């Protein structure tokens, strides 16, 4: 049983309402933004090809987030940096980049650090940088070292998953380990496979400070309103 007592609006304020389906259209993104405003979430996260979004002009509306090197991470670091820089120029306030997961699996943490640092330097220090590590693929030691590399490179968050990897998405164990490693100095975003209010609460109890959801309404329906 969760010890966390949060109402619907408090959880909504932790959510990136996400649409990264390769088949998504402009109309789908407009629906996403309308839903985000109605639900009161923190941010919307869309593919960089959908930018700029002219539907997010309301300053009280959701923050605009996007991805870089998504979903494989097997892009040259300079390409990730250029993609992220263009997205910021087109209005993105947050970028969720995918690391070279293979480098992390191989224990090449200097390469992981350099990859993240390239993106950080490309976008500057004002935009929020979240680093997707694909935690389901990594050993506990690799999760710890990858989170440390992200922190050294100036990331703002570490994030569990793209939601596209066959190994799976977020787990309570991975979120807890990530949160322990960054010790509150970085945020922790749990993403991938979070479909119910109980799932969301388990991630928050484990240390998640942000949630990436595509089934946001269904999750929020499990929380009381005040």
- Which residues are annotated as catalytic? 96, 159, 189
Instruction: Assess contact for 216 and 13: CB atoms under 8 A.
Output: no
- Residue 72: CB atoms within 10 A of its CB come to 14
Cα of 102 vs its chain's centroid, Å: 19
CA dihedral 216→155→178→92, nearest 10 degrees, is: 10
Q: Cα–Cα distance between 100 and 79 in angstroms, integer?
A: 13
Other CB atoms within a 10 A radius of the CB of residue 189 amount to 27
> Whose CA is closest to 33, among 24, 48, 45, 15?
45
Planar angle of CA 182, 190, 206, nearest 5 degrees: 65
Say how far apart CA 214 and CA 73 lie, in whole Å.
21
- Cβ–Cβ contacts within 10 Å for residue 110, how many? 11
């Amino acid at each position: 049983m969760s010890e966390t007592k949060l109402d619907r609006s408090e959880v909504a304020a932790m959510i990136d309402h996400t649409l990264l389906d390769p088949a998504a259209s402009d109309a789908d993104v407009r629906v996403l933004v309308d839903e985000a405003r109605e639900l009161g979430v923190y941010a919307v996260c869309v593919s960089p090809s959908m930018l700029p979004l002219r539907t997010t002009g309301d300053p009280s509306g959701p923050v605009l987030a996007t991805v870089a090197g998504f979903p494989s991470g097997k892009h040259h670091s300079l390409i990730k940096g250029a993609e992220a820089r263009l997205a910021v120029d087109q209005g993105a306030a947050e970028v969720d980049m995918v690391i070279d997961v293979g480098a992390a699996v191989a224990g090449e943490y200097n390469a992981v650090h350099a990859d993240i640092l390239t993106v950080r330097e490309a976008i500057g220090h004002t935009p929020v940088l979240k680093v997707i590590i694909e935690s389901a693929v990594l050993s506990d030691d690799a999760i710890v070292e990858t989170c440390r590399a992200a922190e050294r490179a100036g990331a703002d968050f570490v994030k569990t998953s793209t939601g596209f990897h066959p190994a799976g998405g977020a787990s309570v164990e991975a979120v807890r380990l990530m949160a322990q490693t960054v010790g509150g100095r970085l945020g922790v975003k749990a993403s991938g496979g979070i479909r119910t209010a109980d799932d969301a609460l388990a991630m928050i109890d484990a240390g998640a400070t942000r949630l990436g959801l595509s089934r946001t309404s269904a999750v929020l329906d499990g929380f009381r309103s005040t």
